[in-house]
Amino acid sequence: MVKICCIGAGYVGGPTMAVIALKCPSIEVAVVDISVSRITAWNSDQLPIYEPGLDDVVKQCRGKNLFFSTDVEKHVFEADIVFVSVNTPTKTQGLGAGKAADLTYWESAARMIADVSKSDKIVVEKSTVPVKTAEAIEKILTHNSKGIKFQILSNPEFLAEGTAIKDLFNPDRVLIGGRETPEGFKAVQALKSIYAHWVPEERILTTNLWSAELSKLAANAFLAQRISSVNAMSALCEATGANVQQVAYSVGTDSRIGPKFLNASVGFGGSCFQKDILNLVYICECNGLPEVAEYWKQVIKINDYQKSRFVNRVVASMFNTVSNKKIAILGFAFKKDTGDTRETPAIDVCQGLLGDKANLSIFDPQVTEDQIQRDLSMNKFDWDHPIHLQPTSPTTVKKVSVVWDAYEATKDAHGICILTEWDEFKNLDYQRIYENMQKPAFVFDGRNIVDADKLREIGFIVYSIGKPLDAWLKDMPAVA
Ligand code: NAD
Ligand code: UDX
């Protein structure tokens, strides 16, 4: 029986390995982590992450050919293939702080693999890493390996949160990069044969190591760039009376451009886009390509601009002050169908409103109060773009309450900010909400999910990203 061990039981390691176990009953899969609480949760009925369809997959395989354990060394020792799916966040200190990927976790996993291995292994980079990381990992493994042979593969993950199981069942492509040597080709084939259990052969792409590593950063940069492009257009739409949804539709019907990923929003969030673009920017700078670095940096600058533009719009519309006004925040996760708040635009928007002394009442169907309070009290690290929002002090955190119901959040509020596109926010009883709010009552729809005309009929003043402005909003221009 082939044995797989995956180091890192997070948003990628957990779901990816659960799907491999489900699709390959003849393979034994162990997912290991240094975090005891995460592994305990994976072994319980309350999984550590919320992801539609995940419970079902885990229930079918856990205890049969899928195991979650903190005994990292034992499972690495026994494995034929070791996936490394540890976090690779942006460095916050030292050389490259604010841009470079922090490979501390990766390096310590590689050193541990070298230490405990007694047989040849394939080591798979599942984490998103800077191009050329495989070379560094190879050095660590071969300098400590006591004659054991390691083959390094790059197999970046393209799943998106909220649709992880769907994406893993039916991926656009699986990408495997390896050394162009007989041993490298053999290792690529071994990994390919695992995915071939359920992924059609033509969708399994094989490349050299560096192409696979760079393709992951490039894919995320292209995706984020589309969002920043449509968000940049949204500002121009508001200034001119065009409607960004009509513009995006018209642009997207060109088959060379395509319709997906053109939803204007309050800004993109999530643990990947910003981190991976910063990493790309850093790599460009290190390779003496400042113009290329500048080009990609702009994607993040527009994203920052979009978030502060939203805050300014809220404040400007409400007579240029939200001091001591209750603002309801509907949605805190970085997108619907996840409880993940990493880099969510809600953090920046809430901090911006708190900077203007608002009282916030926050509701998200999947994010806990603890998580929200922690996110709002952390200091953002700086990089070489001006930090646009003030860090929140403990006093301002007292101005935040987290509630478990949209009606409670909006009661007596002056305004509502919709920051995550949860389906349930489309069908709220807005008449009831309006009656219980201060007047004039505002809705700022950061995801363009509500029927603005219907809300206007009720009496709300409505702001939708990139749509023609109400007379009220036109009279109260926001300066970005
Ligand atoms: P995560 O933080 O959810 O999980 C990483 C886990 O690794 C943590 O539980 C941590 O405790 C564990 N870990 C760290 N060092 C360890 C060690 N030495 N030994 C054992 N366990 C260790 O991160 P994630 O969101 O799953 O992301 C993992 C990687 O995948 C990152 O490089 C990320 O960029 C990439 N990625 C993420 C997504 C996504 O949607 N989240 C999608 C594609 C790629
Ligand atoms: C992303 C990539 O899509 C995925 O391939 C990669 O493996 C990890 O990073 P994820 O961050 O989980 O996935 O979600 P994604 O659906 O890409 O959304 C990212 C952010 O962009 C969210 O905040 C989302 O709301 C926003 N977004 C997305 C928009 O604002 N407009 C869009 O049209 C699409």
Specify the residue with its C-alpha closest to ligand 1, atom 25.
11
Per residue in 359-411, pLDDT (tens digit) is: 999 999 999 999 999 999 876 654 443 333 445 555 555 799 999 999 999 99
**Where does residue 288 rank: exposed (0-12), middle (13-18), buried (19+ CB within 10 A)?**
exposed
Q: Of these residues, 5, 24, 61, 272, which one is catalytic? A: 272
Q: How far apart are CA 446 and CA 353, in angstroms?
A: 14
Any atom of ligand 2 within 6 Å of the Cβ of 449: no
Whether residue 65 has pLDDT greater than 80: yes
User: Where are any strands of DSSP class E within 356-429?
Assistant: 359-363, 400-402, 415-418
Distance, CA 16 to ligand 1 centroid (Å)?
12
Ligand nearest to the CA of 337: 2
Any atom of ligand 2 within 6 Å of the Cβ of 96: no
Any atom of ligand 2 within 6 Å of the Cβ of 262: yes
Ligand nearest to the CA of 218: 2
Distance, CA 49 to ligand 1 centroid (Å)?
12
User: Would you say 439 and 465 are in contact if contact means Cβ atoms under 8 Å apart?
Assistant: no
pLDDT value at position 387? 35
Share of residues in the chain with pLDDT > 70 (%) = 96
Active site residue 272: yes
Specify the residue with its C-alpha closest to ligand 1, atom 44.
157
If DSSP states are collapsed to H, E and C, what string results for 148-179?
CCEEEEECCCCCCCCCHHHHHHCCCCEEEEEC
CATH topology of domain 2-217: Rossmann fold (3.40.50)
pLDDT range class, residue 1, cuts 50, 70, 90: confident
Instruction: Please check if 8 is assigned to a binding site.
Output: yes
Sign for the CA dihedral angle at 311, 316, 321, 327 comes to negative
Number of other residues whose CB lies within 10 A of the CB of residue 305: 18
Whether residue 177 has pLDDT greater than 80: yes
ipTM above 0.95, yes or no: yes
pLDDT value at position 147? 86
Tell which one of 172, 223, 280, 306 to mutate to probe ligand 2, the residue whose CB is within 8 A of the most ligand atoms. 223
Whether residue 337 has pLDDT greater than 60: yes
pTM assigned to the model: 0.95
Q: What is the mean pLDDT of residues 81-88?
A: 97
Q: Pinpoint the residues of the chain covered by CATH 3.40.50.720.
A: 2-217, 265-475
Tell which one of 12, 74, 125, 174 to mutate to probe ligand 1, the residue whose CB is within 8 A of the most ligand atoms. 12
pLDDT value at position 475? 86
Q: Which atom of ligand 2 is nearest to the CA of 159?
A: 7
Q: What is the mean pLDDT of residues 157-172?
A: 98
Specify the residue with its C-alpha closest to ligand 1, atom 6.
8
Architecture of the domain spanning 265-475: 3-Layer(aba) Sandwich (3.40)
Distance, CA 162 to ligand 2 centroid (Å)?
10
Distance, CA 271 to ligand 1 centroid (Å)?
10
Whether residue 38 has pLDDT greater than 80: yes
Which phi and psi (to 5°) does residue 67 adopt? -130, 145
- CA torsion 63→68→73→76, rounded to 10°? 70
* Residues in CB range of 240: below 8 A, 6 or more apart: none
- Nearest CA among 206, 200, 357, 333 for reference residue 271: 333
Per residue in 421-437, pLDDT (tens digit) is: 999 999 999 999 999 99
Q: Which atom of ligand 1 is nearest to the CA of 35?
A: 11
Ligand nearest to the CA of 228: 2
Instruction: Please check if 76 is assigned to a binding site.
Output: no
